[in-house]
Structure 1
Amino acid sequence: MSSTRPPSIVWFRQDLRIADQAAFARAAADGPLVAVYVLDDESPGDWRIGGAQRWWLHHSLASLSASLKALGGRLVLRRGRAADELFRLAQEVGAARVHCLAHYEPWWRAAEAELGERLELVRHQGRLLADPARVRTGSGTPFRVFAPFWRALQAIMPPAPPLPAPAEVLWHRQDLAGDDLRDWDLLPTKPDWATGFREWAPGEDGARSALHVFETGIEDYGERRNLPSTAGTSRLSPHLHFGEISPSTVWHTLAEERGAGPYLRELAWRDFCSALILQFPDYADADGRATLEGLPWRDGPEAQADFIAWTRGRTGYPIVDAGMRQLWHTGWMHNRVRMITASFLVKHLLIDWRRGQRWFWDCLVDADFSHNSVNWQWVAGTGVDSAPFYRIMAPLTQSAKFNAAGYIRHWVPELAELGDDQIHDPHGTRAAPADYPAALIGHREARERALAASASTRR
């Protein structure tokens, strides 16, 4: 359908769905609409999305376009500064109102503020379980520690029931100028390093399918989520990051399932991370606490060589190498292994957490700004709510404790023939094959060096 009445604009970002999408539902109820996605590499500055996210974005936009086409409309694609492009589009179609889901990254908040000075901007909730303004301490201040945040969030749960996708939409004219998705070159070609990403199914259908698969095995999630060799995690993170499914839909689907409690807590961690970013917009670049101010991070050629070995999965620590290779091949890494690999970089190699954060930002399909920075600062011991620096994960012990033998065999094939009693520590058991690299540093030596470096900041 089409109409000559002034339309409203629906601004899609990391909310690429039509079900339980409050901005889209409200605009559809109001009258004719224009749906638009703006590829904005200018507003985020250094935090424009990385290569892995671009791969996912291409497929997610194609999925959303198909959904809108089935409703008789189209997704208009524009490229440039979002505030400028949306204002320009509003002038083209005679719109005075833009609907969007509220986002919490500092550049999106700035873009929303700028656009709101030019047009009527209607912000809806839907990226989180709850509006961060509703989750407050008794004195009305935002939380900085997760445990009390989680208790306060639970007190206002469940979230509102998810909205169905509109059955009918009144569209504005369909002849608006827009880019062709293929011209954005979001997919790698020379070389195509994303061949391993094909195990994913971006889009709303893929998100619903992933949720269904996870629901059937959620009873054992509390135990299996820490075992890299099993399919124990939800694998919903990229779908949630791109907004292909809403947190409310996930909550209402799983809340009554036996064993869902630990996962709902993980879902709440997403809200907590966004709440911290609202308080500390520079959290991705600046320590949340000055606990390690002056720590002598390693730099120079040797540190750079170690960093490259870490990125390539050539550290000589099987669990670390498996995780880093999985990351490069699939754009994702098991949660337990994310902590181990991050701790190894920061504490074994004494390399600034910000370097690791940047690598994950480029390589993860689910590299969310708030979660990525909060999680790295948690591991580094610099966050406002974090593990202390002296808590140094022992990769060899962690590998055995969480039964990672099968995981290592899959991702580090040169170790595939080793037995379970050798594969976690092939150098210590003198079973390492010739083509497996020597350890960059011994665990005891690394621990002593890290603790000495930490102690130097207190003198």
Structure 2
Amino acid sequence: MPLALVWFRQDLRLDDNPALHEALEQGYAPVPVYVHAPEEESGWAPGGASRAWLHRSLQALDADLRARGSRLLLRNGPTGPALSALLRETGADAIFWNRKYEPATQPRDAALKREWREQGLVAESFNGALLFEPWELATQQGGPYKVFTPFWRNALGRLRVPAPQAVPATLPSVAETFASEDLDALGLAARPAWDSGFWDKWHAGEAGAHEALEVFLDGALHGYRSDRDRPDRVGTSLLSPHLHFGEIAPWRVVGALEQVRTAANAADVDAYLRELGWREFAYHLLHHFPATTTANLNPRFEHFEWAPGDDRQLQAWRHGLTGVPIVDAGMRELWATGYMHNRVRMIVGSWLTKHMRQHWLHGARWFWDTLVDADLANNTLGWQWVAGTGADASPYFRVFNPVTQAQKFDPAATYISRWVPELQALPVAARFAPWLHAELARRLAPSYPRAPMVDLAQGRDAALAAYKRSAPAESR
């Protein structure tokens, strides 16, 4: 049987894997390979939390392959030379992979495909990550979308869910003569193990992804439309890191949702599908506007007066010491679990870019390093959205009040109490804004900051004044 390399990247699963499925369909014996080349990510090499997850996900993938008689080969980059060398070593006639969409990887992959085809090899790539690839949807004028609602309306009208593709119970063996790096040698695992608290919450790998989907369908899906904004409840799917690493296909998630759809839960199903739509929109934007990973999409902000970088304030924000309980709770949850509830992401992002008036890249870089679901498309969209600088963004002049946000979405201060335990002795009403209960806070929460690092009213006023000054002269 002829051999074909199956090049794994952010598609770390066996079911619903188009590249693996096609290799088998064409009669090849797959040789699974992963190439570690973070230096090729053009300034966005995976952060610490992503590397920790990747270590476990690769471990799980190799175990799944071995259970079927195969195994995963690990190689260090650069990618092109590593794969070309393996093609020669194995004598493989073909190479199959699923596409990535980041600005640094698309041109590299296209060049490799041309090179291998010129050598007479079969080289084919597939969509293994998205419901719609970024170039498949366009406005009526033929251009890219910048507003989500018409994008998603178009997508829903064309959405078709493919049938699941299960991997065979057995796979051809991979010869022991084909060398592989040791997983530990890739240096992915955290040293020291600062991520130890992550794994009480997460189960990396394909089995963990399917388990998370089942738990969601049985639980948080019911009431998702309202509870998804409540950090004090288990109201979300927790599928984002599994989707990012490709441990489950998005169309498998859609298919499962449609199977359980009823008249009673239809609004919740539609609300979750809409969140998957935002993921698709993020990839659409990244493909068409690749510079937005570091540059504002909205040119108005090219001359916006961001505050000078303040290391002391940024460190306080990163480590949950701002003096604003809901902000501090979110940042501590992030550090402890590699995750932050989406509503809280918006609150801490607004605090950073509005009250602190720090450039959104400070937040994007920190999230990139600390989130297990750090994804270049979604991270870019999220930060440009909350900062008001991107597509279909929340306007900059919409400044979240973190106190009222906490009172609305964490009404019993349950989330705050969990992550800011020094406030637990205070009455619930005082936990949202302890500086308004100064004497009580001094006695019952002496270790917590006496006041926010930025006065809420003054920070809001300064942000709005800076925004007004940034308006084009003809609109003033």
Task: Please give the TM-score of this superposition, normalised by the length of structure 1.
Answer: 0.96
What residue number does 2:194 align with?
Answer: 193
Indicate which of 282, 305, 321 corresponds to 2:291: 282
Amino acid at match of 1:167: A
The alignment partner of 2:211 has SS state of helix
CA shift at 1:399, angstroms?
Answer: 0.3
The whole-number CA distance in structure 1 between the counterparts of 2:280 and 2:15 is 20
The AA in structure 1 aligned to 2:57 is S
Q: Distance in 2 between matches of 1:296 and 1:316?
A: 24
What is the rounded CA distance, in whole Å, between the counterparts of 2:94 and 2:358 in structure 1?
47
* Residue number in structure 1 paired with 2:302: 293
Q: Does residue 1:45 correspond to 2:54, yes or no?
A: no
Structure 1 residue 171: Cα displacement: 4.1
Deviation (angstroms), 1:453: 1.1
Q: Which runs of 4+ in 1 moved over 4 A?
A: none
Deviation at 1:45, TM superposition (A): 2.7
One-letter code aligned to 1:20 = D
Q: Does the 8 Å CA contact 2:133/2:284 hold for their aligned counterparts?
A: no
1:270 aligns with 2:270: no
1:314 match = 321
The equivalent of 1:72 in structure 2 is: 69
Q: Give 1:457's aligned amino acid.
A: S
Give me the CA root mean square deviation.
Answer: 1.4
Provide the rounded CA distance (Å) in 2 between the counterparts of 1:55 and 1:172: 27
Q: Deviations over 1:369-389 (max 9, x none)?
A: 000001100011110221111
When structure 1 is superposed on structure 2, of 419-428 and 338-347 the one drifting more is 419-428
Number of aligned positions between the proteins: 452
User: Superposed, which structure 2 residues align to 1:43-442 within 5 Å?
Assistant: 43-120=40-117, 121-190=123-192, 192-199=193-200, 200-217=202-219, 218-255=221-258, 256-257=260-261, 258=265, 259-300=268-309, 303-403=310-410, 405-430=413-438, 431-432=440-441, 433-437=445-449, 438-442=451-455
Mapped contact 1:44–1:107 kept (Cα < 8 A): yes
Superposition deviation, residue 89 in structure 1: 1.2
Alignment match, 1:13? 9
Q: CA deviation at 1:181?
A: 0.3
Structure 1: 5+ residue runs without aligned partners? none
Cα distance between partner residues in 1 of 2:296 and 2:81: 33
Structure 2 CA distance, aligned partners of 1:336 and 1:453?
25
- Provide the identity percentage: 42
Helix, strand or coil at the partner of 1:292: helix
Instruction: Give distance in 1, aligned partners of 2:75 and 2:372.
Output: 22
Indicate if the aligned counterparts of 1:74 and 1:174 stay in contact, CA closer than 8 A. no
Instruction: Write the distance in 1 (CA, Å) between the matches of 2:278 and 2:77.
Output: 32
> Residue 6 of structure 2 contacts residue 20 of structure 2 at CA under 8 Å; is this kept in 1?
yes
1:158 touches 1:251 (CA, 8 Å); kept in 2?
Answer: no
**Is the 2:71–2:174 Cα contact (8 Å) retained in structure 1?**
no
Cα distance in 1 for partners of 2:424, 2:35 equals 46
Are the aligned partners of 1:309 and 1:315 in contact in 2 as well (CA < 8 Å)?
A: yes
Q: Residue 222 of structure 2: SS of its match in structure 1? A: helix
Please tell me whether residue 451 in structure 1 is matched to residue 445 in structure 2: no
Q: In 2, are the aligned partners of 1:13 and 1:37 still within 8 Å (CA)?
A: yes
Q: Give the TM-score normalised by structure 2.
A: 0.92
Alpha-carbon distance, 1:187 to partner: 1.4
Q: Report the residue type matching 1:285 in the other structure.
A: T
DSSP 3-state at the match of 2:436: coil
**2:33 maps to amino acid:** V
SS at structure 2 position matched to 1:43: helix
Q: Structure 2, unaligned stretches of length 5 or more?
A: 118-122
- Farther-moved stretch of structure 1 (99-108 vs 131-140): 131-140
